[in-house]
Every structure is written in structure tokens, then in C-alpha cells.
């Protein structure tokens, strides 16, 4: 007692701080270090926690210093693992669950792919209109035929999804497709599912690893997927595809990966599991068959009506064009009609050109091709044609021979055969020179004694002629002066008063020859004659009394040289012009 008091006396005067410093100097530990050391000695759990952190580093250090080899360590770990599995296989399955399930799913997906290929070959031989449509859809959609067939059989909707704690059976989270969930009390559903699961496990001789995965309630199916710490349950309406099962597996895996700690340490607080909303929301899916669209009857009807009118209009247009083309071809080959242009205007096809008054009426020709005046119109200027048949027709109109006389025309000579009195013969001899294209009148075949035709005294105008160089058409300055003199002579000598019994007609003759290209020569000669007619019209001479003509010169002693233009005056009745 005396010693204790003496000792207390030694340290009694020291403060706690100094005593701590003295303890640290002697032992190397302060009060906090001693407290932690006492905790490790007295609390095995705390000691195990420290050892758990130090043990991996110790093993790694021992292997680095070759104090223990990998071969010596493996048997120890294998033995420990086997003992753990025997005691509680659920622990290891919970650890491997997030790792093994994706690999298992991949293997199952490959097997399903092979099954679909096999199904494709089996379904190739089946025929129906619907399946043929599916085949076309498979061709253009990039999916296989079997996938199209399966997708058309699935019509489903996931109504509600629950996340349930596996050990306690408490509801951790739930997502619904609607504001008013199908299951009014989600906690009650969670308890019911847990109770059913326990009932199946307890009442039937099934292994612990066999889990309840489907419950049918009326028209609804409850699909269940298990994880080590939680269960996901989906209320499904209709016939869902196997892909939904895969989606539920992936969802429960993602929940375990992201919230495994919360599942292990679950203490009844479910707010933290709101983090799983995105995963559960992904399970709210549906697939519905498209409603058969009604056939657009009105649209189809309108299309058919428009198509019908368009077809009819096309037929009418084509048929009309064919008739117009045939009419044009007929007009172009008709003597006494020259077509210069034709075009469509004011709902009609208009033909422009020149027409001899004695030629066939174009309206009459149109009727032969079922073309009436509502479809075509004509704008023809008058001209005197030198075609043989029209010259002969004009001779009949002017000479008006009796029925016993027949006229014919060849190479510029008018022939009369049959019987005629002297009065008509005398009239014909005086009048034939007014017929354009007739140079002589042969009466030798008439029974009456022929009267020698009197020589016609030429007018001063007929003494004018203009000579052109090869291929030349236009007048020179000297010829223009000469032409003015011609016009003065015409105005002085001729009277174009249409109220008279007869009116002078000026025939403008373009002379040429057969040398070289006869057709081209005739064309140039005709252009020269037309040029003089144009100049005369500009000078005030009526167009009705001007007639172009071409003449081939064969005799070197002819009255006019080759490549020249001369003029001849005849008389005609005004009504014939």
C-alpha cells in the first residue's frame, strides 16, 4: 500500500498528456493505438476485417518472394471452394450470376439461330397467300422467313413489372404501363408471388434450383426471372415471344450488377431501388398486329375514272392524228393543191398553202377520211396549176364544147375530136389562148372542116423578157429599171376591172431547159416567175390575174433564151378567177 501510494506519488504529479508521451516513448504506441489493438484482440470480426485486407497482399508478396508457389496455392483454393459449394451452393451462384448469364444467353442465342435456320428450310415448302406475302416481306426487310412467321404470331403487351427482394419477399420497385396499374396493391402481389414460390418449393418434391417461372391468371401470364438477391416479375397480356424472357434476364442481371451491395445489405429501405426504374421501364413493351387497312375504294374508283378518261382521250387523240395524217398525205398528192404548212390552233388543224380553183374541194377530200370541218380548216391562196388534168378541166370550163366534142391535152397542145359546128370552132379558136398552159389548138380530128386559126397580135407587154445568170434569181439594178417600164406598160394597156365580161390575165413564164438537173432547173425557173408576181403585186396589180408557169426550151431558135422570164396575156371570165 505504501509502495502503491509511492508509485502514485511518482506519476500522480504528471498530467495525462505527459503520461501519454511517456507511454509512446516506451512502447511506441499512443492511447488510440492501444485502443485499436485492444479492439482487434477482443473482437474477432474486426480482426478478420483487417486480415481480409492484408491477406491478398501477403499472398502476393509471398508468391513474389517464392515463399509459396501457385501449384501449392491451387489445391487449397479448390478444397475451400468445394466445401463452400457443398454447404451452400447459392453463395457461389450469386457470385457467378452476373458473369455466367450473358455467356449462357449467347450460347442459347446461337442455338436458337440454328433452330431458325432449320425452321426456314421446313417452311420453304408451305404455300398460302399470306405466307407468300411474308416471303416477300422477308426478301425486302432483311429478316429471315422464319422470323417473319414468328413475329406475325406474337401479339402481346407487358402491363406491369415488379422487382422483389428474394429473401424477404418485399417489393423493391414496380413500373406500370398505365397510370392506373393493373395490380392495385403491388405489395400484395409481391407477397402472393413469394407465397406461391414457397408453396411450390415446400409442397412438391422439386429441387431447390428449380424455380417457378410462369403463373397464368385468367388472360394474363406472370413471367418470373430469378436472381441471387432479387426476382423480377412481369404481368403479360397475350402471347409474348421468347425475346421477352431474354429481356427479363438481362434486366435482373443489370439490377444485380448495379445494386448488388444494396441487395446484400437490404434493411427494408426501398427508396434506393428507384435507381432501377430505367431497367424496369425497358421491360414495358408491346407488340400488336397492325389493323387491316380498309381498301381506299373511293381513291381506287377515282383513279379508275381518271385513268379511263385519260385512256379515252389518248385513244381519241391518236385516232384523230392518224386521220389528219392520212388527210395531209392525200392533200399533198392532190393536183392543184400545194401544202406549205399545217399546225394546231383554236381546236383545229389548219392547213395553209395554194389551191387551184378547179382542183378538188379539200372539204370533200376530208370527208373521205372521216374528218369534218370541226377538226380542220383551210387557208389556201389562189393560183393557176399547170397540171395536165387541170389544164384540160379549165379548157372544158372556158370552151364549153358540145357533147359531141371530146378534148385532150398533151405537151402544151389541146386536141379536139368528134363533131362540132363552125360557130363553136370559131369561138374555140378565138378563146383557147386564154387557157393557161395551152400553146396550140389542134382541130384536125374534128369532122367539120377546120378553120385556120388566126395569128394573134402580141401585146407590147409580151415583148418584155428578163435573162438571168446560172442559178441567179434576184433582179439586177438594170433589170429593176426595166421592170418599172414593164409595170408602166401594164397599167397603160391593161384594164383589170372585174365588172367586165373578161379580164386580162398575165402569165409569168420562167424558161429553162432539160440540161443538167431538170427538176432543179424547173424549181429555179418557177422561183423566178414567183419573184416577178410578188413584185407585180407590190406594184398594185391584182393577185388574181397573175399566174406563174415554167417552160422547157428545146429549140435554139425559140423566142426566148434559156434562164429567162417572159410574159403572156390571156383573157378570162372574172368568175373563173
Give the pLDDT score at 453: 46
- Within its chain, how far is the Cα of 264 from the centroid? 62
Nearest-10 crossing angle of helices 518-538, 477-493: 60
Q: Which three cell numbers stand for residue 6?
A: 509511492
pTM (predicted TM-score) = 0.32
Q: Which three cell numbers stand for residue 119?
A: 425452321
Please name the residues in contact with 211: beta carbons below 8 A apart, sequence gap of 6 or more.
197, 224, 226
**pLDDT per residue over 13-54, tens digit each?**
556 666 666 666 666 666 676 677 776 667 766 666 767 666
Is the Cα torsion angle 195, 198, 202, 203 positive or negative in sign? positive
Residues of the chain with CATH 3.30.1340: 388-446
CATH label, 388-446, candidates 3.40.1350, 2.40.30, 2.60.40, 3.30.1340: 3.30.1340
Residues of the chain with CATH 3.30.1330.60: 460-576
The answer to whether 276 touches 248, Cβ cutoff 8 Å, is no
Instruction: Quote the CA–CA distance of 529 and 549 in Å, as a whole number.
Output: 7
Q: Compute and round to an integer the Cα radius of gyration of the chain.
A: 62
Neighbours of 349 (CB within 10 A): 20
What kind of architecture, by CATH, is found in domain 460-576? 2-Layer Sandwich (3.30)
Give the pLDDT score at 194: 67
Q: Report which of 454, 390, 391 is spatially closest to residue 427, judged by C-alpha positions.
A: 454
Give the pLDDT score at 153: 52
Instruction: Quote the CA–CA distance of 355 and 385 in Å, as a whole number.
Output: 8
Instruction: Quote the CA–CA distance of 560 and 554 in Å, as a whole number.
Output: 11
Residues of the chain with CATH 3.30.450.70: 154-287
pLDDT below 50 — which residues of the chain?
1-11, 121-122, 125, 150, 450-457
What is 154-287's CATH number? 3.30.450.70
Is the Cα torsion angle 66, 70, 73, 77 positive or negative in sign? positive
- Alpha helices, H only, 124-271: 129-141, 145-153, 186-203, 242-264
CA dihedral 453, 459, 461, 467 (to 10 degrees): 50
Looking only at the bridges linking them, the beta strands covering 220-226 and 214-217 are antiparallel
Amino acid at each position: 500500500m505504501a509502495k502503491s501510494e509511492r508509485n502514485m506519488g511518482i506519476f500522480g504529479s504528471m498530467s495525462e498528456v505527459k503520461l501519454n508521451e511517456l507511454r509512446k516513448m516506451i512502447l511506441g504506441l499512443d492511447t488510440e493505438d492501444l485502443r485499436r489493438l485492444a479492439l482487434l484482440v477482443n473482437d474477432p470480426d474486426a480482426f478478420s476485417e483487417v486480415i481480409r485486407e492484408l491477406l491478398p497482399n501477403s499472398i502476393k508478396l509471398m508468391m513474389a518472394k517464392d515463399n509459396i508457389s501457385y501449384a501449392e496455392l491451387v489445391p487449397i483454393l479448390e478444397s475451400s471452394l468445394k466445401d463452400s459449394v457443398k454447404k451452400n451452393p447459392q453463395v457461389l451462384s450469386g457470385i457467378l450470376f452476373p458473369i455466367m448469364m450473358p455467356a449462357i444467353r449467347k450460347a442459347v442465342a446461337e442455338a436458337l439461330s440454328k433452330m431458325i435456320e432449320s425452321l426456314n428450310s421446313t417452311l420453304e415448302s408451305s404455300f398460302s397467300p399470306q405466307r407468300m406475302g411474308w416471303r416477300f416481306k422477308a426478301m425486302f426487310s432483311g429478316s429471315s422467313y422464319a422470323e417473319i412467321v414468328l413475329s406475325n404470331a406474337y401479339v402481346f403487351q407487358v402491363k406491369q413489372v415488379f422487382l422483389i427482394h428474394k429473401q424477404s419477399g418485399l417489393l423493391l420497385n414496380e413500373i406500370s404501363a398505365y397510370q392506373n396499374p393493373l395490380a392495385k396493391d403491388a405489395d400484395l402481389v409481391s407477397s402472393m408471388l413469394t407465397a406461391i414460390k414457397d408453396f411450390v418449393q415446400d409442397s412438391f418434391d422439386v429441387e431447390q434450383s428449380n424455380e417457378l417461372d410462369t403463373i397464368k391468371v385468367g388472360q394474363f401470364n406472370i413471367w418470373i426471372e430469378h436472381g441471387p438477391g432479387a426476382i423480377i416479375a412481369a404481368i403479360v397480356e397475350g402471347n409474348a415471344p421468347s425475346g421477352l424472357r431474354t429481356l427479363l434476364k438481362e434486366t435482373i442481371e443489370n439490377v444485380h450488377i448495379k445494386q448488388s451491395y444494396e441487395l446484400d445489405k437490404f434493411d427494408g429501405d426501398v427508396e434506393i431501388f428507384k435507381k432501377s426504374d430505367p431497367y424496369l421501364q425497358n421491360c414495358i413493351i408491346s407488340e400488336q398486329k397492325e389493323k387491316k387497312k380498309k381498301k381506299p375504294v373511293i381513291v381506287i374508283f377515282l383513279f379508275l375514272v381518271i385513268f379511263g378518261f385519260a385512256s379515252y382521250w389518248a385513244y381519241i387523240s391518236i385516232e384523230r392524228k392518224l386521220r389528219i395524217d392520212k388527210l395531209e398525205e392525200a392533200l399533198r398528192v392532190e393536183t392543184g393543191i400545194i401544202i406549205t404548212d399545217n399546225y394546231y390552233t383554236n381546236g383545229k388543224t389548219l392547213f395553209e398553202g395554194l389551191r387551184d380553183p378547179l382542183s378538188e374541194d379539200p372539204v370533200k377530200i376530208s370527208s373521205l377520211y372521216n374528218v369534218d370541218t370541226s377538226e380542220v380548216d383551210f387557208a389556201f391562196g389562189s393560183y393557176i396549176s399547170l397540171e395536165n388534168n387541170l389544164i384540160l378541166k379549165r379548157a372544158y370550163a372556158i370552151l364549153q364544147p358540145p357533147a359531141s366534142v371530146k378534148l385532150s391535152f398533151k405537151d402544151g397542145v389541146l386536141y379536139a375530136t368528134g363533131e362540132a359546128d363552125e360557130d363553136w370552132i370559131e369561138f374555140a379558136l378565138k378563146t383557147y389562148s386564154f387557157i393557161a398552159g395551152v400553146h396550140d389548138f389542134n382541130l384536125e380530128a374534128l369532122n367539120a372542116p377546120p378553120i385556120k386559126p388566126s395569128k394573134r397580135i402580141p401585146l407590147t407587154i409580151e415583148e418584155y423578157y428578163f435573162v438571168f445568170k446560172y442559178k441567179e434569181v434576184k433582179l439586177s439594178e438594170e433589170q429593176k429599171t426595166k421592170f418599172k417600164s414593164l409595170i408602166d406598160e401594164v397599167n397603160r394597156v391593161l384594164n383589170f376591172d372585174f365588172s367586165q365580161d373578161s379580164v386580162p390575165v398575165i402569165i409569168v413564164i420562167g424558161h429553162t431547159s432539160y440540161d443538167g438537173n431538170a427538176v432543179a432547173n424547173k424549181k429555179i425557173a418557177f422561183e423566178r416567175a414567183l419573184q416577178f408576181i410578188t413584185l407585180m403585186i407590190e406594184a398594185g396589180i391584182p393577185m388574181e390575174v397573175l399566174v406563174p408557169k415554167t417552160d422547157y426550151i428545146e429549140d435554139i431558135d425559140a423566142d426566148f433564151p434559156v434562164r429567162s422570164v417572159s410574159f403572156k396575156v390571156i383573157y378570162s371570165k372574172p368568175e373563173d378567177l
